Amino acid sequence: MTKDASADASADVSDGTSADVFDDASEDWERWHERRVETVSGSYGPLALTGTHWLEGYPDGRLPDIPGLWTDQEDGVLLTAAPEDGLSLDGKPFTGEVRLDADPGSAADARVGLGERRFVVLVREGIWGVRDFDPASEARAAFKGVEATPYDPRWSVPGHFTPYGESRTVHVENADGVARGLGLGGILAFTLDGEDLTLQVSVESDGSLWAVFADTTSG
């Protein structure tokens, strides 16, 4: 019952348990931040992405700094490779033609590569493209870490989620400048410093919630 929970919370404050809770939460945040840094700086993480090329913009099939011919086949991509292109397919040297579907996994598992580089085939709104991931990218080499403010329990507050009666979609501009639909599952309401606030959130397959928001500190 809520009454019992409140009594327990009061007891925690008096016996020092609140300090333990703060330490646990702070350690959880540190581990999350470390994972975030590892993800960003990974060999095939966001910093390794050197370009996204949409095939409709290259009717001759020649992509910038990517060997081979990459042709849009509506339901896939046709890759034509010559021996001098040096491409690999599924980890083996490749010459000839192959039809490619969108890569379902991480960039590290992309079927086509050139040395340590990986070329990820993707499709968005029926438009096919290729992303170039290079572990030796300048951005990855220059990476010095992700700036973040220290953990502050002030920002850890209870909230109430109210699902929408039906799914809703808003258009959000992506990193490539194209606005795409983002499904929203409901509203998360909470109070911070005496002010009632809400966020429209998406619902993940595991039931967790996430929101896209920013302020002037995020650039």
Beta-bridged to residue 121, according to DSSP, are: 130
E-strand spans in 67-150?
69-72, 77-81, 88-89, 92-93, 96-100, 112-114, 117-124, 127-133
Angle, CA 15 vertex, CA 14 and CA 17 arms, to 5°: 105
pLDDT for 20 beyond 70: no
> Whose CA is closest to 119, among 41, 45, 49, 40?
49
The whole-number pLDDT of residue 166 equals 86
| Residues 174 and 185 sit within 8 Å (Cβ to Cβ) | no
Q: Count CA atoms within 13 Å of residue 211 on its CB side.
A: 11
**Beta-carbon contacts of residue 76 (< 8 Å; ≥ 6 apart):** 99, 100, 101, 128
Count of beta carbons in the 10 Å neighbourhood of residue 113: 19
**Beta-carbon contacts of residue 39 (< 8 Å; ≥ 6 apart):** 45, 46
> Whose CA is closest to 130, among 85, 76, 92?
76
Between CA 186 and CA 181 the distance in angstroms is 15
pLDDT-above-70 percentage for the chain: 88
pLDDT in tens, 2-16: 223 333 333 333 344
**Residue 19 banded pLDDT, cuts 50, 70, 90:** low
State whether residue 158 is helix, strand or coil.
coil
| pTM (two decimals) | 0.75
pLDDT for 218 beyond 80: no
Please state the φ and ψ torsions of residue 44, each to the nearest 5 degrees: -125, 35
The whole-number pLDDT of residue 161 equals 96
SS3 readout for 40-71: HHCCCCHHHEEEEEEHHHCCCCCECCECCEEE
State whether residue 105 is helix, strand or coil.
coil
Please state the separation of Cα 99 from the chain's center in Å: 27
Mean pLDDT of 101-116: 97
